[in-house]
A and B are shown apart, each in its own frame.
Chain A
Amino acid sequence: MAEPFDLLGVEPSADDETIKKAYLTKVRAFPPDHAPDEFQAIRAAYEAIKTEKARVAYELFHHSSVDIASLWHDLVGDPPPRRPDSTLFKKMLDETLKQYRLPADRLR
């Protein structure tokens, strides 16, 4: 399982209410009927940290997963996105247009 805090997008210091809110938002984005695997992972993450006791138990007993996702979460986290300057944005659009594949059949 990926780090539950990372999966729900909350800080380890978040309280019950914040975690519940984040969980419900995630469930809305990944409802069980449309995304059962994601929903299951979200549900498991929520169960792992939903109460203070669960969070303390997680802190004490969890074995950090040896995977890139967990390391990414630990070391890079999910910082608020930084905006590019508009020149870089335009350059990027130019680059994607150069790789653009024309839907030629639609134009015949």
Chain B
Amino acid sequence: MARKRNKRQTQPRQQTPPLPLEERIERARRSLTNGHWKEAIDAYKRLLKIESRDEWREGLADAYLGRAAELAGKEMYKEALVFLENLSALGCRRETAALQTACLLLAEKTAQAVQHYLDVKQTLPRQQDDFLQSLFAARVIAGEEKLLKAFPENSPIVKHYGPINAALTAWCAGDDEDARQLLKTIPYRSPYRDLRMILTAVLLQSSDEQAARELFSRIDKASPFAGMMTVMRLGVLTGPEWLKAVSKLGPAAKKYALTNKGVNDKIFALFSRMQKGARSAKELFNLLAAHARLFDAKTIRQTCLNLLLGFPAGAKRYAKQFGCPSEYDDARINALIAEQQSDWEKAFNCWRELLKIVGEADEQNRLRSALIARRLADILKKHFPPSPTACEQMERMLLFSLRLDPDDKPSYMALLDYYDEMEEDDLYRKCMDRAVKQFPEDSDILMEAIELALARNTFKKAAGYAKTLLQLDPINPRVRGALIRAHLSHARKQIKAKKFHLAEKELNEADAIEREAQSTGIIQIHRGLLAFAQGDVETGETQIEKACRRAGSHLTTYFRVVVEAERVGLSARAVKQYHALLKQSAAAAPDKEGIPALIRAIDSYTIENDAALGRAMGLVAKYLKKGAGLEYQQEEMAAVCSMFEQLERHDLLQTYADHALKKWAEEPLFVYYRLYGKCSGNQFLLRPTEMDMIKDAMLLAMERNETDTVKRIHAFMVHNIPLDLPIGFGDFDDFDDDEEW
């Protein structure tokens, strides 16, 4: 080091050649303009050494003022005052009175600050005067009451001190009403205005948080009371936000914040530690268990119990430190842990255990039991392979839950869904009647009821439900469709009974509901058939032609005419031209538009499951068969197959499934459709190799969690394949409460 220093000393200083004067002037001006005060001061000082020019002195004065303000903005008030003195010594006139007063006060030269303020007060712009007064007011409140003596008695700083100090004392003592009244006596333009707003806001915090926030937000960030406002508004924060904010505070503010929350230092330190470091349930559990004494015994016990969900291995320490959990807590926590681990068998058994523990002693426990039973039904449905036992148990759980808590729509819907799947028509109807009684204005329930009524040919009932539903939901297209179907069904009945005027009335009602954009031409077809039934061929043909235009497809319309004609009791001879037209249209090559349109038309009949449909299908079977080779999406193909399955068109089902398997080899759903079609739904006709194929398809579907496919295959094979059920699916006699159903 020494050698280096010597070396440096021995080197001759390199003198930089002096810049030309013009450039030095320009540099000084540029520094000033850019707010580089230090450089500007230096530059102007050098220039003034060359020559005492007024413009350079003015430049230096500006630089001094800029530098003073810069230092004051960095809380370096004493240093700022030096530059203000330098400025004063230059003899240049600048407005420094307010800045100097503030710097004197904040540099704790209080007496000088007051004197200076009183000397310059008259010259100050109003805004600056207001600011300085609030700065003095803050210092007074912060403990420098002696300042008050220096101000005239009529000064607002003195006049308003009494009420604001009394309001503060009243608030600290919890005398809120007194505090409110005292704050009201302080005028808006008081130097204590911001403190008045802060106290008003904290008084409002518990009753009107929004108004409190609004008041806090009105305090200028540059106000001397702004720091205080930041601390006071912490009162509305909790948890992590509060911890984060408090950790940034000074000692007094932190003490205030802790006092305000009723939190001691140790709790604060523990939470700060958890917030910084501990993130996992294990870390949190261990930290809290180690500091359990800091908290209420019951609360910390419950909190640690809840943490076991994320840290099951802590159960041993928990039992040692807090004692064994209650039977209720034990079963509940274990069930939730099992669910988290997707151990559904264990979860099922734990919830069942809890169901027994909870019982039905009071209303609260009956509700708990109902909810647990629903949870069990849900687990059975979603996480167990379908089996007659599981289905039965699910039904029992749902019935049990509805006995304890009849006001639960999802349970009715689940039960209806179950009866529908199991084809338990009587139970479905009974359940539906109860559901409608329980939820007379619920759109989901009413929609289901409409479909049921239509399927049972109780048209008036269906129309009644649909009208109620349309009143509740006037733009629901499904209801409109259902209501139209109800009127059409009734119209067909009237045509068949030769009560043509009544049929006309029904069709008029259907017409009034239908929206033209959604029309399939079905009403016009019925009008046409009504005309044919009355012998008016010309009107009949006009109406059918109108229907073709509405539907946009002759093939579909002729198909519908053939089906509907039989349903209204018209002889094939009466509409023979449409049989011919249908055959003619179906002889054309199928296309991507024609097939789906026809399928949609066929699909619209599936819920009514009419024999006439089967016969009409015979006329378009070849057309449909040829359509199997078209390019379908997998979902489209699955939908088509599902429809053929429902229609029991096994030949078409097999054809389409064969084509599907060429594209999606071994796809479980299509394997099922192919084999179902091949044996016409009779599983006893399957060969052993085909039995193996369907078993493999089922296993693959289970692996992929394709619940619908599993259910289909299971329903088909249930009498042939013994399914392995999970342990614990034994008795449910304890919950067999469905006698009243």
A residues neighboring B (CB under 8 Å): 2, 6, 25, 28-29, 52-53, 56-57, 60-61, 63-64, 66-69, 71-76, 78-86, 88-108
Contacts and interface: CB of A to CB of B under 8 A. Distances in A.
B253 interface: yes
B72 A95 contact: no
B643 to A, nearest CB: 38
B259 interface: yes
A86 B171 CA distance: 9
Contacts of A29: 209-210, 213
B243 A60 contact: no
A102 B340 contact: no
B128 interface: yes
B239 A64 contact: no
Given A85-B172, A106-B131, 10 more contacts: A52-B367, A63-B336, A66-B310, A72-B238, A81-B235, A81-B261, A83-B260, A97-B139, A104-B72, A106-B127
A20 B566 CA distance: 59
A68 B271 contact: yes
A98 B138 CA distance: 11
B99 A104 contact: yes
A90 B340 CA distance: 53
B86 to A, nearest CB: 16
A83 B281 CA distance: 35
B142 A101 contact: no
B75 interface: yes
6 contacts: A56-B368, A66-B284, A66-B310, A72-B243, A102-B75, A107-B99
Contacts of A28: 210
Nearest to B145: A90
Contacts of B174: 83
B253 A96 contact: yes
A80 B300 CA distance: 20
B168 A84 contact: no
Given A28-B210, A66-B284, A107 B131 contact: yes
A80 B207 CA distance: 12
Interface string B287-316: 010000001000110110011011000000
B253 A92 contact: yes
Contact of A68 (B139, B263, B274): B274
Contacts of B275: 68
A97 B253 CA distance: 11
B219 to A, nearest CB: 12
Contacts, number: 201
A22 B245 CA distance: 25
Nearest to A3: B239
Given A74-B303, A81-B205, A90 B73 contact: no
Contacts of B307: 64, 66
Interface residues of B, number: 90
Contacts of A91: 142-143, 252
A106 B128 contact: yes
B337 to A, nearest CB: 10
B222 A71 contact: no
A90 B239 contact: no
A64 B142 CA distance: 44
A75 B300 contact: yes
Given A60-B332, A100-B227, A84 B303 contact: no
B111 interface: no
Interface of B: 65, 68-70, 72-75, 77, 80, 95-96, 98-99, 102-103, 106, 127-128, 131, 138-139, 141-143, 168-169, 171-174, 205-206, 209-210, 213, 222, 224-228, 230-231, 235, 238-240, 242-243, 250-253, 255-256, 259-263, 267, 271, 274-275, 279-281, 284, 288, 295, 299-300, 302-303, 306-307, 309-310, 332, 336, 340, 364, 367-368, 371-372, 375, 405, 408
Given A53-B367, A63-B309, A79-B262, A84 B239 contact: no
Contacts of B367: 52-53, 56
B70 A72 contact: no
A97 B74 CA distance: 13
A contact face: mostly helix, strand, loop, or mixed: helix
A2 B236 CA distance: 16
A52, A95, A99 pick with most chain B CB within 10 angstroms:
A95
B364 A56 contact: yes
A92 B205 CA distance: 20
A100 B224 contact: yes
Nearest to B94: A108
Contacts of B213: 29
Contacts of B408: 53
A92 B231 CA distance: 9
B252 A94 contact: yes
A89 B256 contact: yes
B106 to A, nearest CB: 6
Contact of B142 (A53, A69, A84, A93): A93
A63 B238 contact: no
Contacts of B280: 66
Nearest to B294: A75
A12 B519 CA distance: 54
Contact of B240 (A60, A68, A74): A68
Contact of A94 (B131, B143, B288): B143
Given A76-B267, A78-B238, A86-B172, A53 B309 contact: no
Contact of A74 (B139, B267, B299, B340): B299
A74 B172 contact: no
A86 B169 contact: yes
Given A29-B213, A57-B371, A102 B103 contact: yes
Nearest to A96: B227
Given A88-B259, A101-B73, A104-B73, A72 B172 contact: no
B73 A105 contact: yes
Nearest to B96: A108
A64 B306 contact: yes
A99 B263 contact: no
A46 B56 CA distance: 70
A92 B284 CA distance: 33
Contacts of B302: 74
A27 to B, nearest CB: 10
A93 to B, nearest CB: 4
Contacts of A63: 309, 336, 340
A75 B127 CA distance: 48
Given A82-B259, A93-B141, A97-B227, A25 B69 contact: no
A105 B141 contact: no
A105 B127 CA distance: 13
Given A86-B168, A100-B224, A66 B281 contact: yes
Contact of A102 (B102, B168, B251, B279): B102
